[in-house]
Structure 1
Amino acid sequence: MTTREQLDERYGRASHPARRRARWIILTVAAAAAVVALSWLTVSNSDDDVGYDETGFELVDARTVTVSFQVTPPSNTAFACAIKALDEDFGVVGWRVVEYPASESVTRAFLETIPTVAQATTGTVHSCWAR
C-alpha cells in the first residue's frame, strides 16, 4: 500500500511548515482586523444615535394631527426628527421635518402638529438623527 509520504515524494508535494504558519498568521491578522473594524463601526454609529419613543397622537381635525414623543439625543447635540401622518391604507398624508437645538437635557418631550392633505388615522415619528 502506498503511504501519504510516498505519494508526496513521488509527485513533489512536500510539507512546508513555514507556509502553513504563514497562512495561520494571515488568517489571524485578517480576523483581528475584521473585529477591530466592526467594533469601530459600532462605536462610531452609536455616538450619534438619537433614540425616540412615541407617546401618543391625536387627530385634531380632518387636516391636522398632533404627535407626542420623547427624544434622547447625545448631550449638547442638535438633532432633527421626521414626523409623518398616515391614512387608513398607511399612505403618507402629511410629513414634517423639525430641527431642535442642542440642550443639556438627557430626555426631552415634544408635541408637534402635522398638517395633512387628507384625513389621517395616525401620526408617528419616522426617524431622528443628529445634525
Structure 2
Amino acid sequence: MTTPEMLDERYGRTRPAMPRWVVVAVIVVAAVGFGAVGWSIFAANIDAVDADTTGFEVVDEHSVAVSFQFSGPVGRSIACALEAQDREHGVVGWKVVEYPASDLPARAFREVLATTGDATTGLVNSCWVT
C-alpha cells in the first residue's frame, strides 16, 4: 500500500464513485460506435466484386482478347472495365461490358477489345455491381 492510500484509509477519505448515468452513457456510446463500425464493414463488402485476368491474346494490330473471371453477389448484374495497353503502358483500348444477373457466384468470360494501336497486354481494370 502506498502512502496516499494509507493516509486515505487512516482518515476515512474515500474517492467519490462515478455516477451510474455516466457508466451507462459510456456503455451506450461504445455500443453505438461498435455497431456503426460493424455496419460499415458489412455494407462495404456486401456488393464486393473480385475480378482476375486469366489471360490475354493479341489477335492483330487492332484487337486483343482478354480472358477473365469474377466473383460477386448472386442475383445482381455486374459490369467490368477492360483495357488494352501498349509497351509504355498507355491505354490503346477500353471497353465496359455489362453482364446480366446470375445465380452463379463465379463466372468466366473472354472479350475482344478494339485497339487504336499495337497492344502488348489486355487486362481487367475493375468490376462492380450495377
TM-score class normalised by the smaller sequence: 0.7 to 0.9
1:85 maps to which residue? 84
Q: Equivalent residue for 1:12? A: none
Aligned residue in 1 for 2:59: 60
Equivalence map 1:1-131=2 (5 Å):
17-18=17-18, 22=22, 26-131=25-130
Once the two structures are overlaid, the 10-residue window that deviates more, 29-38 or 63-72, is 29-38
For residues 28 and 87 of structure 2, the distance between their equivalents in structure 1, rounded to whole angstroms, comes to 54
Deviations 1:63-115 (A, max 9, x none): 11110011112111111000011111111111100000011122111001111
Q: How many Å separate the matches in 2 of 1:31 and 1:118?
A: 57
With the length of structure 1 as denominator, give the TM-score of the two structures.
0.78
- Residues of 2 paired with 1:37 and 1:124: CA distance? 36
Stretches of structure 2 lacking an aligned partner (at least 5 in a row): 5-14
Q: State the TM-score, normalized to the length of structure 2.
A: 0.78
Give the drift of 1:16. 6.0
The letter of the residue matching 2:125 is: H
Alignment-mate amino acid for residue 53 of structure 2? E
RMSD: 2.5
Pairwise CA distance, 1:45: 1.7
Q: 1:73 is aligned with what amino acid?
A: G
Compute the displacement of 1:123 (Å): 0.6
Seq. identity, %? 43
Q: Which amino acid aligns with 2:89?
A: F
Change (3 A) 1:26 1:98: same
CA change 1:49–1:16 in 2 (3 A) is: same
Query: Could you tell me how far apart the structure 2 residues matched to 1:96 and 1:38 are?
Result: 36
2:93 and 2:17 mapped to 1: Cα distance?
A: 68
Corresponding position of 1:8: none
How many residue pairs get aligned? The number is 121
Unaligned runs of 5+ in 1: 4-14
The one-letter code matched in structure 1 to 2:76 is T
